[in-house]
């Protein structure tokens, strides 16, 4: 079953009122039936697309402390060893997932554990697949540590269209694998930083589903 995510309530309500006013104004100020019909069709299409963007599919997630689940829907655009300067300050395996406007934009916790770090960074709005977007764009970085001391950094990154990153986590709280921890509005990207040597289970350009696709195994 699919519903509307809570992050879409205010936007959809505001959009509905705006479109309603526009359509009433068109009918009042113009005698053209064709113009009224065109305005109504465009309005309906825009509203339905926005509602589709904020869809929230129900997913049954089986927790497993030996795997890292995908934090979002999208396509894998990078798997590489990089230097991570913000938290780890050493080399890590970076897995980057690009979310197009047509993807579900909910973010799910990749592992269960303690939130060790959570920091928001204002920044630019380069295209999400740009190599510098991880360090130049608006972003929020979260580090989760499981019971065995395994740490994962999850970085939500805004893109050209995404101008609003939502993050529900706070330092010191516990989160569960597959639990919703955030939302990025209108196109974006998520980077995962894993320890060197972690067994990666996905390939470049592969499509993944948040809370369902296995990104890596820890055994």
Catalytic residue (one of 56, 96, 134, 188) = 188
DSSP string, 131-193: TTHHHHB-EEEEEEE-TTS-EEEEEEEE-SS---EEE---TT-EE-TT-EEEEE-SSEEEEEE
> Is 188 considered catalytic here?
yes
| Farthest-apart Cα atoms in the chain, separation | 70
Closest by alpha carbon to 204, among 71, 74, 78, 93?
78
Between CA 204 and CA 75 the distance in angstroms is 8
When computed from its CA atoms, the radius of gyration of the chain, rounded to whole angstroms, is: 20
Catalytic residues: 188
């Amino acid at each position: 079953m699919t519903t509307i995510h809570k992050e879409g309530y205010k936007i959809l309500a505001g959009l509905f009122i705006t479109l309603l006013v526009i359509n009433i104004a068109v009918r009042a100020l113009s005698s053209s039936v064709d113009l009224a019909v065109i305005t109504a069709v465009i309005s309906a299409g825009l509203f339905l697309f926005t509602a589709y963007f904020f869809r929230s599919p129900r997913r049954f997630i089986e927790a497993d402390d030996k795997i890292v689940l995908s934090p979002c829907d999208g396509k894998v655009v990078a798997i590489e060893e990089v230097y991570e300067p913000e938290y780890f300050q050493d080399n890590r395996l970076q897995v980057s997932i690009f979310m197009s406007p047509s993807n579900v934009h909910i973010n799910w916790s990749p592992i269960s554990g303690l939130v060790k770090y959570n920091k928001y960074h204002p920044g630019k709005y380069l295209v999400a697949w740009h190599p510098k977007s991880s360090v130049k764009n608006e972003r929020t970085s979260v580090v989760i540590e499981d019971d065995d001391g395994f740490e994962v950094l999850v970085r939500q990154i805004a893109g050209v269209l995404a101008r609003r990153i939502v993050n529900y986590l706070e330092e010191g709280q516990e989160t569960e694998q597959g639990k919703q921890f955030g939302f990025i509005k209108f196109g974006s990207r998520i980077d995962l930083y894993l320890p060197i040597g972690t067994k990666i289970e996905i390939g470049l350009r592969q499509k993944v589903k948040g809370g369902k696709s296995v990104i890596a195994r820890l055994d």
